[in-house]
Amino acid sequence: MYKSMAVIAGLMILLAAMLGGCSKADNSTSNSVSSNKSTSDAYTASGEENPPVTFSYYHFSTGKKDTLASETVIGKQLQQQTGVDWKLEYVVGDSLTKAGVMIASGDYPDVISSSGEMAKLMDAGAYIPLDDLIEEYGPNIKRVYGAYFDKMRQTDGKIYTLPYTANQGEYIGGPNIGGGAFWIQRSVLKEFDYPKISTLDEYFALIKQYREKHPTIDGADTIGFVSLAGVANNFFTLQNPAMHLAGYPNDGSVIVDMETHEAKVVAGTDYQKRWIQKLNEVNAEKLFDPESFTMNKDQYLAKLTSGRVLGYFNYAWQVGDASKSLLAAGIDEKRYAPLPLVFDKDIKDQYVDPPGFVANYGVGISIKAKDPIRIIKYFDALLKEENQILVQWGIKDQTYSVDDHGRFYYASDDQRKYHDDLELSRAFGFTYFQTDWPRYGVESTLLDGNAFSPGNQPELAYASFTEGDKAILNAYGVDTFSEMFSKPDARPWFPVWSIALEQGSPEQIFTMKSDDVQRKYLPALVMSSPPDFDKLWEEYIGELNKLDKKSYENTITKAIKDRVAGKW
């Protein structure tokens, strides 16, 4: 399907070139600098003249409601500074399909936050190059991204997007788990006096024991374990646990040898078999939710907030709305605690990401943008430190306070609620502006030493812990949840999934076909009768073996070794 879409997009681009006499490279002149010149000249970064304008901004991310930026407090403040408003739209359903339709029609919004669709959009020529715009109008962009420019360039040497991971100042890890983990309902831990759980077998044994004692919750069947694997662009939540359980971080489709730096595809390994077979056993025991392969994300989040689910694997950023809703409900035992599970006790967990830079997730200006100069000036204004504080911390004395030592904190529950309460966060704008815009990396520190992200401010985390949080931390002898996890080992190539693959290349085709095979077989393997598992697994391996895995591994290994050598 995507190949045919790419062909259509290619014909459209060729036709446009024939009619307009311009190439992709020409867009930097015709579409980025001279577009709407009179309007842009009227705008100055100092805000002396800000003729109002509204641009469209499409996000290939889910879980947020479409809105006008000016309907939030943050968006209104930025509009007052710049005169710019945004029509914010978010993907609903399958992002792969949406990207294909967008490319085939050529109907692009002014700005696109690519999420996982970067390669397709780049290949279709959806973005304009930003180099000249940044040079002329982007002093703050150069300050924030300058050290990363060489890592941001595409094969033609140009910069097309602004990523989300440009860390500033001192690197600071979070006291809470913001990435992947196996999560368990706190009532389960409390029921059995907070036992130490380190392996997958111990985890499911505890869930089984609890479910036998509590087969229903609030009159409905208790759900032992649930997955988000039914949503196409979230299928990695079923794929990734195998690498984590084996002691590797989220490097995408491969694990990397720490000594040789050689990449090995996870699909079809003994690690994946061990993980999927465990789910098969769990399913046979009626602990696995069969709707894991059919429900959408909203239904998934609703289940997590229902109080019926005992465990799941996911990345914290995927379930933020559910976490906020549970916190707001005030029933601490129904919230979840993160666990760094491994297959065997002698394996060192590596759930916490090491420092890294991701260039293939970012924000770009499309070839259909009405006024690229105005847009780049907005991005540059957004990257002023005072505005980075605005989008993360908010307004001093309203959503945060500053103590006598200059440290940011919440002086009251009312201030904290702006960040934790789902509806307040949306209305103020944190939900919309904290991610998916040009920004500092989340592990950054501000010039005054405060954490860029409130979640990484140490004293704020300690003060925010509920009595339930403290009970868990005290039981396990730690001060923060991140201390329950091993510190990450240095991986200068991290993450592998940020290595760009050319659309239509053998390597990109391998990843697409490998994912297709896994989407077909992994759910069937989980749901099959245990006696049939090995036979179906062999059939699955046979399909994988038809693909050119070795060439893909060789290509990724070379890219990893280049990164280790400092070549991006």
| Cα–Cα dist 17/367, whole Å | 13
Q: Assess whether pLDDT exceeds 80 at residue 439.
A: yes
| Cα–Cα dist 427/418, whole Å | 9
The beta strands (E) that lie in 244-365 are given as 254-256, 263-265, 309-315, 336-339, 362-365
What's the pLDDT band for 4 if we cut at 50, 70, 90? Answer: very low
What's the pLDDT band for 182 if we cut at 50, 70, 90? Answer: very high
pLDDT (tens digit per residue) in 51-74? 999 999 999 987 789 999 999 999
Q: Assess whether pLDDT exceeds 90 at residue 276.
A: yes
Whole-number pLDDT of residue 462: 80
**Average of pLDDT values for 398-408?**
97
AA identity, residue 195? P
- Residue 367: name the closest of 67, 45, 105, 136 by CA: 105
Q: Assess whether pLDDT exceeds 80 at residue 18.
A: no
What's the pLDDT band for 178 if we cut at 50, 70, 90? Answer: confident
pLDDT (tens digit per residue) in 279-319? 999 999 999 999 999 999 999 999 999 999 999 999 998 89
pLDDT (tens digit per residue) in 467-517? 999 999 999 999 999 999 999 999 999 999 988 888 789 999 999 999 999
- Residue 355: name the closest of 444, 263, 433 by CA: 444
- Give, rounded to a whole angstrom, the gap between the first and last alpha carbons of the chain: 31
pLDDT (tens digit per residue) in 214-268? 999 989 999 999 999 988 778 999 999 999 999 999 999 999 999 999 999 999 9
| Cα–Cα dist 451/449, whole Å | 6
Whole-number pLDDT of residue 46: 39
CA 112 → CA 116, 232, 421, 506, distances in Å? 12, 20, 28, 27
pTM across the whole model: 0.75
| Cα–Cα dist 522/285, whole Å | 18
Helix/strand/coil for 123: helix
Omega before 458 within 30 of 0, i.e. cis = no
**Average of pLDDT values for 384-410?**
97
Question: Mind listing the domains of the chain with CATH numbers?
Answer: 2-170+360-391 (3.40.190.10), 180-351+490-564 (3.40.190.10)
Supply the mean pLDDT for the chain: 89
AA identity, residue 551? S
pLDDT (tens digit per residue) in 340-363? 999 999 999 999 998 888 888 899
